[in-house]
Amino acid sequence: MASDGVVALYGNNNNAVVEPSSKPAAATFSVKVGLAQMLRGGVIMDVVTADQARLAEEAGACAVMALERVPADIRAQGGVARMSDPALIRDIKRAVTIPVMAKARIGHFVEAQILEAVGVDYVDESEVLTLADDAHHINKHNFRVPFVCGCRDLGEALRRIREGAAMIRTKGEAGTGNVVEAVRHVRSVMGAVRALRNMDDDEVFSYAKQIAAPYDLVMQTKQLGRLPVVQFAAGGVATPADAALMMQLGCDGVFVGSGIFKSGDPARRARAIVQAVTHYSDPEILADVSAGLGEAMVGINLSDPNVERFAARSQ
């Protein structure tokens, strides 16, 4: 692959267009993407206490997401969901050595500033929390801390990357234990990339307009044959089989939210999902690790019109 043919990303070269000069030169986009690359082939687990974080680390999670409530509880309790208490995040950071992520509301750049000051390793600008700005996302180029954002299709993914996201996850439908939306979103992105690869270069201009994505990133995606950042699956993964399915569909790793700590035997399930992601193409190991896990989280049927769609909260 000729790397010189690749179209530049913001912040990827010396004369950074966006990063203000007051920031140390070290926070390059490649360093931000780099951590996500180190998480590839891993499982990121939602935790609400330091004990759960330790359990996740013990099971082999490659990172934890520090939350006050898992998505299933946010769904059940309703109300406004906000950033977690920094004290909780600090507790969890002290408890484990693996990277700690935390969620900020979409568009709430002050929550993101706070999380950066607390020293989290990744910020998830998440549709699972209530929106703070219904028109704009955070300008993620302004931060040293890297961001992960959700997407439902290629256009949305590339818009987030242009805003500075260094990692992309599918939105899925968090807190439902139902993987159908996550599969839809992965298939949508992967299918669009495959179509793009076979497209004539002359058609890319119009295609970029059609999916409302920046032309240079569309072109870069075409040349790479994949998203230009790491892509994880999220939203509804509840079993080792779900996790392996997402990997076989082409994701680089998996977020598991409510699926672990809302199940019968969290420690065992966590370990099984970690193994399923590593050995995602080995059905015999998948059969072994899927056996005797106890009760999975209760799923929610998404054809019920009363179920709120978190994924549709942002564009």
Partner 1 sequence: MAVVGVLALQGSYNEHISALRRIGVKGVEVRKPDQLQGLDSLIIPGGESTTMAKLANYHNLFPALREFVGTGKPVWGTCAGLIFLANKAIGQKSGGQELIGGLDCTVHRNFFGSQVRSFETELSVPMLADKEGGSPTCRGVFIRAPAILEVGSDVEILADCPVPAGTPSITITSGEGVEEEVYSKDRVIVAVRQGNILATAFHPELTSDSRWHRLFLDMDKESHAKAFSALSLSTSSRDAEGRLNPRPLDLPIFE
Q: What does the block give as tokens for 96?
A: 């484990």
Are 115 and 123 a contacting pair, CB within 8 Å? yes
Check the annotation: does 119 bind a ligand.
Answer: no
Provide the binding-site residues for partner 1, judged by CB under 8 A.
1, 3-4, 6, 8, 12-14, 24, 26-31, 33-35, 37-42, 54, 57-63, 93, 96-99, 116, 119-122, 144-146, 224-226, 228-229, 271, 274-275, 277-279, 282
In our burial notation (b when 16+ CB lie closer than 10 A, e otherwise), range 19-35 reads: beeeeeeebbbeebbeb
- Whether 103 is a known active-site residue: answer yes
CB 231 to partner 1: min, Å: 10
Nearer Cβ to partner 1 (59/74): 59
CB 4 to partner 1: min, Å: 7
Check the annotation: does 42 bind a ligand.
Answer: no
Side chain identity at residue 232, one-letter code: F
Nearer Cβ to partner 1 (70/167): 167
CB 33 to partner 1: min, Å: 5
Whole-number Å distance between alpha carbons of 299 and 303: 12
Whole-number Å distance between alpha carbons of 312 and 93: 31
Residue labelled with tokens 């000069």: 21
Residue 46: is it exposed, middle or buried by C-beta count within 10 angstroms (0-12/13-18/19+)? buried
Whole-number Å distance between alpha carbons of 111 and 142: 13
Are 56 and 101 a contacting pair, CB within 8 Å? no
Nearer Cβ to partner 1 (16/307): 16
Nearer Cβ to partner 1 (70/123): 123
Kindly state the DSSP code that residue 127 receives in the 8-state scheme.
T
CB 50 to partner 1: min, Å: 11
Task: Give, rounded to a whole angstrom, the gap between the first and last alpha carbons of the chain.
Answer: 32
Whole-number Å distance between alpha carbons of 251 and 262: 24
Strand locations in 75-186 (E): 100-105, 122-126, 147-151, 167-170
Check the annotation: does 236 bind a ligand.
Answer: yes
Please pick, among 103, 140, 171, 262, the residue that the annotation labels catalytic: 103
CB 145 to partner 1: min, Å: 5
Whole-number Å distance between alpha carbons of 294 and 300: 18
Check the annotation: does 259 bind a ligand.
Answer: no
Nearer Cβ to partner 1 (73/282): 282
Active site residues: 103
Binding residues: 46, 175, 187, 236, 257-258
Q: Which residues are annotated as a binding site for D-ribose 5-phosphate?
A: 46, 175, 236, 257-258
Binding residues for D-glyceraldehyde 3-phosphate are 187
